[in-house]
Amino acid sequence: MAVTQEDQKIKEFIAICRENGLSVTPQRLSIYKALIGDTSHPKPEDVYKRIEKEHPTISLATVYKTLETFEHYGIISVVTPLHNTVRYDMMTQPHHHIVCVKCKKVIDLFDEQLKDLPVPEQVTKDNRLINYSIQYNVVCAECRRQQS
């Protein structure tokens, strides 16, 4: 039987948990599974909606806390919160974002040119740069269509 991408991801997840002494609870596993392959940069509420059927006893607060834990261990990352709500990202390799200011859609952007962008001196003078992410704010095609 072929190992699916999901199996592979779950294996990685369990390995990271073990390394960090984090127990793999059914809730954590369900929350993680709900995120696999998700490119929509979901809000905690979106994740909650996906798993509440399977875990009726789980609270939104638990989902919030679990996502924060995942972020702490580098399992997922946070998209720069330009909206009132935090958005999570399954893609942990460096990339950029195209964000629609109207519908709040967040699209991943991978661009070779942006990889080698010169970093302004003001950034590196007194600080240690960890990474950077560029955000292009747009009105997306769908929203443009609705405007006209």
Closest to 93 (Cα-Cα) out of 113, 117, 109, 72: 109
Q: Please check if 140 is assigned to a binding site.
A: yes
Pairwise CA distance, residues 84 & 140, whole Å = 20
**Binds Zn ion (CB under 5 A): choice among 91, 98, 114, 135:** 91
Does residue 98 touch Zn ion according to CB under 5 A? no
Pairwise CA distance, residues 141 & 52, whole Å = 32
Does residue 89 touch Zn ion according to CB under 5 A? yes
Q: Which is nearer to Zn ion, 31 or 99 (CB)?
A: 99
Query: 60-72 vs 26-35: helix axis angle to the nearest 10?
Result: 80
Give least dist CB 119 to Zn ion, A. Answer: 20
Pairwise CA distance, residues 113 & 124, whole Å = 20
Q: Please check if 17 is assigned to a binding site.
A: no
Contacting residues toward Zn ion, per CB under 5 A: 89, 91, 100, 102-103, 108, 140, 143
Residues within the annotated binding site for Zn(2+)? Answer: 100, 103, 140, 143
Residues within the annotated binding site? Answer: 100, 103, 140, 143
